[in-house]
Chain A
């Protein structure tokens, strides 16, 4: 756990050695791409359920769900990555993750097209995240894992779901 927390503490991806990022990743599919989440951040995977829309939140916030009595926000990762919006399918599910925000843990869900498997990624299989200039934000990518024929984008979930954005929105309204 300590390792992964260190990871998410805001170092630029070049600064920390890629070998540190080796470990178990939960992979999921979004459109044509495969992404990986550090397994230690994942709390559980649940099927799609009724999501209550919350007015005046950014588009990628799908709403909130009731997770056994706890209300947690749910993010639509497609929308967050500016992909085209698709209808949910029977394979769509919510990955519940523990995100470090400022100084405490926040539980939230991310909606993905399909969860595939847990993959062990070794240090030598990880390459630094590519940079595509200012148009494409890649700071939430820890690195690219090459496992067999697959290329998995390893996500820094703390950065993907940085809540500063939502908070700042609220202040403006």
Chain B
């Protein structure tokens, strides 16, 4: 192949420089062409041999002086050569390549029979073209109009079928005339529509847009074909056409959600105005179309309307019609009627208006038919119009606000809420308050709550943009890995705190990559053998559940390989050989730094960086990530995130004189242990026996060196907390209840304190500390005891 291509290149170069009088070169060319012909026949090509034979004959003809127009003949030869070049170089199907057509001038006068035959065919085609072009054109215009209508009601079966019929006919006609790119485009549209009719593919505006683009591409190609003849006209739009065919094919085969384009527009509701404002059509064209839209009062039907409306009598009408036909000055009937004094312009107009609404052609259609605007633009304008009518595009004024100021505002709202509740709960006020005062207090309370709601919603944005990025990612990765994957998403309008949405992108990318790379089987065969659908599926979901947001990435691939993960973990010394791990604990291993079970490292994943970052990022958002997986069925990664970063649902506990907040998300339960539930281990650690499970117990007072707190061994109240499947019990003195608190960071100075995630402003206005459950569990279960830490602290103290 390479060799052939090389020879072709040099041949093409030689052709450019070749003189038709240079006989040795021509002879050389002839032998080259013969060789090429032999090669193409061996390869079993269908169309190349014909062109090459003709080329060889033409060269022979030039050498023998039999050719009337040598340069036209040479032109044919070089076109043939470049067509074969295209075929080899771009690996395109032969059908899509335009082999040159022999024109009369290029043919040899004493040439081979076959070339004359070709000639005749070409002539016939030219004749057919003249008739066919307008025919196809009107088909396409009708298709445009239908598609625009279809966009309005995407599942209208009658409209679907009508569009299908039109394009089907266009396919046939173009095929007959060998207009390959038009045929291919129309065919692609037809298969998409077929799926929409037969297999219940739900069309979207995006699909319609794509088909409109295809139709307009066909129209352009047709225009060029009419101007330049088939061979050249097809070339102009070729690249564009093949790209569109590809996209249509994708849309037909796979899931594909691409919202149709709409136009940014200020506030118009009338289609004409939208078209003008968005620069699609000028005012004049719209006015003209509008004039056409009026039912022309020169047809008898209209006049009947006038009679029925009581504007005219029959005799008057017949008189007017006869006057019109006799005068032959091109006056339309309405003008005649007015001139004769039978009716006024207003009367005619108002009578017509009533009927117009019932039977006028839509403006968009007129614009398309007159060619005043491209169909896809009209469709987009109509979409905008519909949205405006539905009020989806509410023209909201957006003000950009500095994020710091916004945060400050939210802080202050939080403060206001606290201050307000302290005032309202103050016993002095409650005891002595007059009814009027109580009413005012209630009002204040209500306003404050509303303010709080607005405050928290200020930072909320939908996850849509992030989800759409994932859709693209899956498409790209699937193509790279040569896997067929259908991507679905739901709940992309779920709102999250802006900071969360900004930060959730990275972890999601890693998880999605993982699903594509490790989750989905590497070949269709493997899937089919496992009894699954050949096309894999990855689903991305977001939903609210119990005060937090869940984002799930689900694939239907192989699932996680427990043995391999364990083997890898043992190899890395993360777990010892004797450890028996539950499924959950095993899955959690993949979040360990430097862990990867991929045998080959790709640029997609498998470098072992990533999943640990995923966990870190999600934890920094106070979220959690869980994995469910079933061998051969697939895996689901679930990210749980707090609704907003500004507020935390917490359980307030007391230890000595201190208060701490434990995020409710991590609290399993709290119990008062009976005697016998607690076991001491090696005189040091304390374990709690609960439901057959042993949980290590630590006293917060000891972990945090709080004086006067209960110790682990004489605990009477234990809060069991959990993180990544690990549980520990925390000994506290008292539960002070649940509370939603506004979260604050402890600032730069206190970053990374063990066991502390942040601070919260409590209802009395003081600061309470929020516990970092993950780090507490690490603190408790790591070898470092609190005494050691104590020692370190002493050691590190400056002075």
Contacts and interface: CB of A to CB of B under 8 A. Distances in A.
A55 B411 contact: no
A104 interface: yes
Interface string A129-173: 000000001000000000000000000000000010111111111
Contacts of B14: none
A48 to B, nearest CB: 13
Contacts of A72: 747
Interface in B761-775: 761, 765-769
Nearest to A50: B766
B766 A163 contact: no
A58 B753 CA distance: 12
B748 A106 contact: yes
B121 interface: no
Task: Summarize A's interface: helix, strand, loop or mixed.
Answer: mixed
Nearest to B658: A53
Interface residues of A, number: 37
B759 interface: yes
Instruction: Find the residue from B705, B756, B793 having the highest chain A CB count within 10 A.
Output: B793
A53 B756 CA distance: 12
A86 interface: no
A52 B769 CA distance: 8
B791 to A, nearest CB: 10
A52 B766 contact: yes
Contacts of B703: 55
Nearest to B705: A55
A172 B792 contact: yes
A82 interface: yes
B747 A71 contact: yes
A173 B754 CA distance: 7
A50 B659 CA distance: 12
B703 to A, nearest CB: 8
Interface string A63-85: 11110111111000000001000
Task: Summarize B's interface: helix, strand, loop or mixed.
Answer: mixed
Contacts of B747: 71-73, 106-107
B696 interface: no
Nearest to A80: B799
Interface string B748-759: 111111111001
Contacts of A166: 749-750
B604 interface: no
Contacts of A66: 761, 765-767
Given A69-B412, A69-B415, A56 B796 contact: no
A27 to B, nearest CB: 25
B755 to A, nearest CB: 7
B759 A68 contact: no
Nearest to A65: B767
Contacts of A63: 767
A58 B705 CA distance: 12
Contacts of A53: 658, 706
A68 B744 contact: no
Instruction: Find the residue from B746, B761, B767, B792 having the highest chain A CB count within 10 A.
Output: B767
B798 A71 contact: no
A56 B411 contact: no
Contacts of B754: 56, 170, 173
A106 B750 CA distance: 11
A108 interface: yes
Interface in B728-743: 742
Given A65-B767, A69-B411, A173-B792, A55 B749 contact: no
Interface string B785-799: 000010011011111
A68 B414 CA distance: 9
B746 A56 contact: no
Nearest to A164: B798
A105 to B, nearest CB: 10
Contacts of A171: 752
Contact of B755 (A55, A101, A108): A55
B748 A104 contact: yes
Interface in A69-124: 69-73, 82, 101, 104, 106-108
B704 interface: yes
A59 interface: yes
Interface in B413-427: 414-415
Instruction: Find the residue from B703, B748, B765 having the highest chain A CB count within 10 A.
Output: B748
A54 interface: yes
Nearest to A73: B749
B767 A64 contact: yes
Interface of A: 49-50, 52-59, 63-66, 68-73, 82, 101, 104, 106-108, 137, 163, 165-173
Given A71-B747, A108-B749, 11 more contacts: A52-B768, A55-B706, A55-B755, A56-B705, A69-B761, A71-B761, A71-B767, A73-B750, A107-B747, A172-B792, A173-B792
Closest A-B pairs by Cβ, 7 of them:
A55-B704, A69-B411, A52-B767, A69-B415, A71-B744, A71-B759, A50-B766
22 contacts: A49-B766, A52-B658, A52-B768, A54-B750, A56-B793, A57-B750, A58-B797, A58-B798, A59-B797, A63-B767, A69-B742, A69-B744, A73-B746, A73-B749, A163-B748, A163-B749, A166-B749, A166-B750, A169-B797, A170-B752, A173-B754, A173-B793
Interface of B: 408, 411-412, 414-415, 658, 703-706, 742, 744-756, 759, 761, 765-769, 789, 792-793, 795-799
